[in-house]
């Protein structure tokens, strides 16, 4: 007998994505689920910040010259060329006692990039427009007040928020934390993501497969995607296409912060994942999306039967077993949930655009994510689908570096048209 259907709800891609974003926002409002830890500054790169970082002093801490040149009163340069009296040289890091207390009218001080602008001066003239002869400096270009100076506190005021909780730290975030003296940062712990692959034909990578057996590759593509999205993968043994064994492993997986299953969610006689989850009183948000590859994707939360009351219900995905479907549905649907569990603030999915190299024809009705190669250089981007044998073709996908996003209502796109592109690593 075929598995009894679980009140099927197949959504458009956009609706399915909305459901995901709503759940991600809910998760984030109760965060952090997996706790926080303190790490050294550099180890925080790529991690999600769990503490606010504030300015420990004004940034910049003094009015900073952005040029090598001469600090002047702009009003002295109305008539050109102007000749001013040289009174000091101020280099970057100059101690306070060596900086003149005031630059008077008709006076100037030579100043270096990054040095503090002395009181009295309100602009810096670039060295290119000056010539110095002993104590006299001739200037051939006027400046407006404030030119080539960043005022004290213009970038941030002491005590103001620089980096907020939920930010995934890139190099600029790390630099900012460094600039305010943070040698350690409090970051969110990585959520543990259980990966459960199903199928009687699937064997471990180290096994010698029989003539009709397939090595488990999905657990590894998923583990790589989980790590990149900020999670810690936990690979469970391969589940058989048999209800008891499958159920036992699903219950095991639901103890993690998130459970990803691959395979067993299509309409085949042995596709038992939905059934097993339904028996555990799982809640289903959707049981399919109008996309290709990846149509049978399942998203839900549960199952109370397996967990008792002390823990909140675990989100799960039943991702289709076809390897490219698994990778695509992770990027489209799993990633936001995982990022939310990792403490990261939600963000929208945005596609880039590139010009299509050769015409594509497809059937309408499904939004398609076709493995493709993005090439070109600088402002000239172009993209072309890779020849593939459908959503089981890992080799074709490994040659690709992005997916072309093909709208559900178009039958063809001509060469030279702009198309949406999803980079596989962003």
Q: Contact positions toward ligand AMP, by CB under 6 A?
A: 197, 199, 201-202, 214, 216-219, 262-266, 268, 271, 320-323, 392
Choice between 107 and 219, CB closer to Mg ion: 219
From Mg ion, ligand AMP, none, which one binds at residue 9 (CB under 5 to 8 Å depending on kind)? Answer: none
User: Six-digit token pair at 19?
Assistant: 């459901």
CB of 390: closest distance to ligand AMP in angstroms?
Answer: 10
Identify the CA nearest to 264 among candidates 238, 302, 301, 235: 238
Choice between 32 and 296, CB closer to ligand AMP: 296
From ligand AMP, Mg ion, none, which one binds at residue 287 (CB under 5 to 8 Å depending on kind)? Answer: none
From ligand AMP, Mg ion, none, which one binds at residue 419 (CB under 5 to 8 Å depending on kind)? Answer: none
CB of 386: closest distance to ligand AMP in angstroms?
Answer: 19
CA atoms within 13 A on the CB side of 144: 0
**Diameter of the chain by CA atoms?**
100
Q: Which residue is nearest to ligand AMP (CB)?
A: 321
Choice between 148 and 325, CB closer to ligand AMP: 325
CB of 263: closest distance to Mg ion in angstroms?
Answer: 4
Q: DSSP assignment of 160-188, as one string?
A: -EEE-TTPBP-HHHHHHHHHTT-SEEEEE
Exposure string of 89-107, with b = 16+ CB inside 10 Å and e = fewer, is ebeeebeeeebbeebeeeb
From ligand AMP, Mg ion, none, which one binds at residue 108 (CB under 5 to 8 Å depending on kind)? Answer: none
Q: Please state whether the peptide bond connecting residue 303 to the residue before it is cis, i.e. omega within 30 degrees of 0.
A: yes
- 172: phi then psi, degrees, rounded to nearest 5: -70, -40
Helix, coil or strand: residue 402: strand
- 384: phi then psi, degrees, rounded to nearest 5: -145, 140
Choice between 263 and 303, CB closer to Mg ion: 263
C-alpha 389/C-alpha 393 separation (Å) is 6
CA atoms within 13 A on the CB side of 170: 1
Choice between 32 and 320, CB closer to ligand AMP: 320
CB of 234: closest distance to ligand AMP in angstroms?
Answer: 15
Environment class of residue 116 by beta-carbon count within 10 Å: exposed (0-12), middle (13-18) or buried (19+)?
A: buried
From Mg ion, ligand AMP, none, which one binds at residue 322 (CB under 5 to 8 Å depending on kind)? Answer: ligand AMP
Q: Which residues bind Mg ion (CB under 5 A)?
A: 199, 263-264, 321
CB of 199: closest distance to ligand AMP in angstroms?
Answer: 5
C-alpha 108/C-alpha 121 separation (Å) is 8
User: Six-digit token pair at 298?
Assistant: 């399942």
CB of 329: closest distance to Mg ion in angstroms?
Answer: 15
Choice between 173 and 199, CB closer to Mg ion: 199
From Mg ion, ligand AMP, none, which one binds at residue 245 (CB under 5 to 8 Å depending on kind)? Answer: none
Choice between 278 and 297, CB closer to ligand AMP: 297
C-alpha 257/C-alpha 190 separation (Å) is 10
CB of 265: closest distance to Mg ion in angstroms?
Answer: 8
CB of 388: closest distance to ligand AMP in angstroms?
Answer: 15
Choice between 36 and 219, CB closer to Mg ion: 219
From Mg ion, ligand AMP, none, which one binds at residue 197 (CB under 5 to 8 Å depending on kind)? Answer: ligand AMP
C-alpha 84/C-alpha 108 separation (Å) is 6
């Amino acid at each position: 007998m075929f598995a009894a259907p679980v009140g099927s709800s197949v959504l458009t891609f956009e609706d399915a994505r909305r459901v995901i974003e709503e759940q991600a926002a809910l998760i984030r409002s109760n965060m952090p689920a997996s706790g926080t830890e303190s790490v050294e500054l550099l180890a925080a790169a790529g991690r999600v910040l769990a503490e606010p970082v504030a300015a420990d002093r004004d940034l910049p801490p003094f009015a900073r010259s952005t040029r090598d040149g001469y600090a002047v009163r702009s009003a002295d340069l109305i008539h050109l060329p102007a000749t001013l009296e040289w009174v000091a040289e101020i280099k970057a890091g100059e101690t306070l006692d060596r900086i003149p207390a005031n630059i008077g009218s008709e006076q100037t001080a030579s100043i270096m990039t990054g040095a503090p602008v002395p009181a009295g001066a309100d602009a810096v003239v670039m060295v290119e427009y000056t010539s110095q002869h002993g104590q006299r400096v001739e200037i051939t270009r006027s400046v407006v007040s404030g030119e080539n100076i960043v005022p004290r506190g213009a970038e941030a005021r002491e005590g103001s928020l620089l980096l907020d909780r939920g930010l995934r730290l890139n190099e600029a975030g790390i630099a900012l934390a460094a600039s305010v003296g943070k040698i350690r940062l409090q970051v969110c712990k990585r959520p543990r993501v259980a990966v459960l692959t199903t199928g009687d034909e699937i064997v471990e990578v180290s096994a010698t497969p029989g003539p009709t057996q397939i090595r488990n590759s999905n657990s590894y593509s998923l583990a790589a995607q989980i790590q990149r999205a900020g999670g810690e993968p936990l690979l469970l043994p391969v589940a058989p296409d048999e209800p008891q064994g499958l159920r036992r492993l699903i219950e095991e997986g639901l103890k993690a912060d998130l459970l990803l299953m691959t395979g067993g969610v299509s309409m085949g006689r042995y596709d038992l994942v939905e059934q097993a989850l339904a028996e555990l009183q799982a809640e289903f948000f959707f049981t399919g999306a109008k996309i290709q590859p990846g149509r049978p994707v399942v998203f839900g939360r549960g199952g109370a039967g397996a967990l008792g009351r002390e823990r909140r219900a675990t989100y799960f995905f039943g991702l289709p077993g076809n390897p490219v479907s698994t990778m695509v549905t992770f990027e489209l649907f799993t990633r936001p949930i995982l990022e939310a569990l990792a403490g990261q603030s939600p963000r929208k999915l945005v596609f880039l655009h590139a010009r299509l190299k050769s015409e594509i024809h497809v059937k309408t009705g499904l939004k398609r994510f076709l493995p493709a190669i993005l090439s070109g250089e600088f402002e000239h981007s172009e993209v072309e689908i890779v020849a593939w044998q459908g959503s089981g073709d890992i080799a074709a996908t490994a040659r690709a570096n992005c997916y072309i996003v093909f709208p559900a209502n178009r039958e063809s796109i001509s060469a030279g048209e702009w198309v949406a592109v999803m980079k596989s690593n962003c």
